[in-house]
Amino acid sequence: MKLFEYEAKNVMKSYGLPIPQGSIAKSVDEAVSVAEKIGLPVMLKAQVLVGGRGKAGGIKSASTLDEVRSISSALFSLKIKDESVESVLVEKKLNIVKELFIAVTIDRSEGLPVMIASSMGGMDVEEMAKEHPESIVKLHIDPRFGIVPFQARKVAQKIGLREKQLITFSDIAVKMYKIYEELDAELVESNPLAITDAGELIIADARLNIVDDALFRHKEFQELSLKRMPESTELERLAKSKGVRLVDLGGDIGVIGNGAGLTMATIDVLTYYGAKAACFLDVGGGASAEEFARALTPLIEYPRVKAILINILGGITRCDEVARGIKKVYEDLKFTKPLTVRLSGTNEEEGQRILREIGINTFTSIDDAVKNVIRQVSSNR
Amino acid sequence: MTILLNRENRVVVQGITGRQGSFHAKLMLEYGTKVLAGVTPGRGGGRVDGIPVYDTVAEARDLHNVDTSIIFVPAIAAYDAVMESINEGIKLIVVITEGIPPNDTMKFVRSAKERGSVIIGPNCPGIISPGEAKVGIMPGFVYKKGPIGIASRSGTLTYEIAWELTKAGIGQSTVIGLGGDPITGLTFIDVLRLFEKDDETEAVVLIGEIGGDAEERAAQIIGKEIKKKVVAYVAGRTAPEGKRMGHAGAIISAGSGTAMSKVKAFRDVGVEVAERPMDVPELVKRVLRR
């Protein structure tokens, strides 16, 4: 789960990290009163969860209260990659002389947490890695022991810091690792970490993402995550309102499978034959009739979905049970959308018989099922 | 021969009194696996389908000489359960549990390496050596004994491809589900090295998916260290960036971890990559003839 910049900064502040003076504003008036309180000039930063905010005009400075009013008003009506701006962070403008970069994240390849630092902050990290690989310092950390301050001091030294700044930086690094560890973050980042004209280090921008799988031990974020649905489409919202998790893929064939890999493979085969899936929906192993009904409902209701393809390979899951589930949904909801079912594995003959009774012919290969659903869609267009 | 698992492995089921644990303990027994003990703290002294239940792995090890464990413990307690097995010297640990925080996984994977234990998973279907034993949740009937080794990041997709092979008359030596999490104990590279040394395995099928770079890294050792023929399939060619496709590990981030980069890495080292799951048997036949 991604946090907004101001939320990330609040967490960082609570860990004793230096952040600019400022506050969040939900309206133009609030923005003006924050600016009055902290003093001009200020930075006005649109709060969105998508990247590329700066380039989209989401970050502006203001030197007068009139500017605060007009700029924040513009920011509130801005849309950044389809995400609307609901709050603006108003911060005291820093006099930055140099920008650094620091992040703690998970290195999947090494299976370890990694601290990444650079003397070239403010840039896109990918770009930085490509154009100036020598400027990037990486420190892998044994998660069982965490970071020891001397390691952080070596990182500070490698990015060219000295004297008081070396100490301040390593202190920031240790605290950022602490956040990573204690909150089960997948990313704790400051880009840039600014050096001001007074020689201070301040977290000018902040990112903090919490691992979804760890939300069970962070109740405060769990609640937030339930409330927040970033980057979701109408179909995803409809599905979520029914308690179903799916990924919208934009096409017209609703795909339901059991198992993530199998469902992805089904969509790939569909694409191979030139069709487009409406969604990725994995019902998981051993789904009950009720769970099936729940998964099917948003696809039945959503008009863009012209046909539905169900792909079940029963291992532990029994095909006859699945068939009873489909039959129940079919009879209860009385929908007319074309339905193609691939049903193979444990008790498949019984399952196929049950579905035949209600007029649904099943397939035993993904290929045949996919070809059938494509035929249904083309004749339905 | 097989890798990591044969009929001699002596298995303890951690979390045996749970819904999943008890159900699969029975199916593993039916398949012929030596399931000798179960562990559920606080439930020691009972039995599940005739299998004695203990409070600790240490007891199960002392009384039954178990060397393999399978873990059905919920994510919140999984770290504890895996560390217990590592600490008691269990050599093969299969972690079925889904949703373990990566910080926990990274810690026990690290500890296992130091203590010489092999971890399969988390978030995996387990391991099967057809005709010998299965330690996992996979349906036994889709597999048949033979010369193909399989390693996969996905569960049902593995069953799909194994079954296609079986129907085409091609059996398997050992089939391993590595798990769908970003961090797993065994990787494609580890498994390729084990299959390379296994006399019975003539070719290897790798089933990858989007996210991370495990496939790209595996490709780097194919042809160098690995002389056996490899066939691959990669799921998720149409997955959008930034969306988690079911598995915690199946996510394309900032352009990296795409199916195409994995397919390319494999093709660059001469690995045949199937366009569709059902094309795998044909490709396997082709490489076996070479």
CA A17/CA A205 separation, integer angstroms: 12
Instruction: Write out the two tokens for B43.
Output: 């439930």
A227 vs A344, higher pLDDT: A344
Task: Using the CB atoms, write b or e for A101-111: b if 16+ within 10 Å.
Answer: bbbbbbbbeeb
pLDDT tens-digit map of A151-201:
999 999 999 999 999 999 999 999 999 999 999 999 999 999 999 999 999
- pLDDT at position A290: 79
Bridge partner list, A311: A257, A342
Flag if A261 and B210 touch (Cβ within 8 Å).
no
Query: Average model confidence (pLDDT) for chain A?
Result: 93
CA nearest to B216 within chain A? A109
The C-alpha of A88 sits at a distance from chain B's nearest C-alpha, in angstroms, of 24
- pLDDT at position A380: 64
A52 vs A147, higher pLDDT: A147
The phi and psi torsions of A353 (rounded to 5 degrees) equal: -65, -45
Which residue's entry shows tokens 């770079």?
Answer: B213
Task: Using the CB atoms, write b or e for A265-284: b if 16+ within 10 Å.
Answer: bbbbbbbeeebebbbbbbbb
Task: Using the CB atoms, write b or e for A36-65: b if 16+ within 10 Å.
Answer: eebeeebbbbbbbbeeebeebebebebeee
The C-alpha of B289 sits at a distance from chain A's nearest C-alpha, in angstroms, of 26
Return all residues near A169 (Cβ < 8 A) that are at least 6 apart.
Answer: A100, A102, A152, A155, A156, A159, A161, A193, A201
- pLDDT at position B54: 98
- pLDDT at position A31: 97
Which residue's entry shows tokens 């860990």?
Answer: A15
Instruction: Write out the two tokens for B241.
Output: 């960036």
Which of B28, B103, B221 to mutate to probe the A interface, most A CBs <10 Å? Answer: B103
- pLDDT at position B173: 98
Q: Give me the residue from B213, B237, B276 closest to A109, CB to CB.
A: B213
pLDDT surpasses 90 at A292: no
Flag if A264 and B157 touch (Cβ within 8 Å).
yes
Please give the sequence-ordered ranges of beta strands (E in DSSP) within A119-241, or none if there are none.
136-140, 185-196, 201-203, 207-210
Flag if B156 and A261 touch (Cβ within 8 Å).
yes
pLDDT surpasses 70 at A381: no
The C-alpha of B278 sits at a distance from chain A's nearest C-alpha, in angstroms, of 8
CA nearest to B256 within chain A? A126
Which residues of B are designated catalytic?
A: 247
Q: Are B36 and B11 in contact (CB under 8 A)?
A: yes
Instruction: Write out the two tokens for A29.
Output: 């008036």
pLDDT tens-digit map of A26-45:
999 999 999 999 999 999 99
Flag if B213 and A315 touch (Cβ within 8 Å).
no
Residues of B in contact with A282 (CB under 8 A): 246
- pLDDT at position A231: 55
Query: Does any CB of chain B come closer than 8 Å to the CB of residue A210?
Result: no
Instruction: Write out the two tokens for A218.
Output: 């962070």
Residues of A in contact with B255 (CB under 8 A): 126
Residues of A in contact with B100 (CB under 8 A): 213
Question: Could you tell me the pLDDT band of residue A332, with boundaries at 50, 70 and 90?
Answer: confident
Q: Are A2 and A169 in contact (CB under 8 A)?
A: no
Flag if A143 and B160 touch (Cβ within 8 Å).
no
Flag if A142 and B153 touch (Cβ within 8 Å).
no
Regions of chain B where pLDDT drops below 50: none
pLDDT tens-digit map of A50-65:
888 988 999 999 999 9
Per the document, the length of chain B is: 290
pLDDT surpasses 80 at A208: yes
CA nearest to B108 within chain A? A144
Rg, Å, chain A Cα set: 26
CA A377/CA A374 separation, integer angstroms: 5
Instruction: Write out the two tokens for A258.
Output: 């059991």
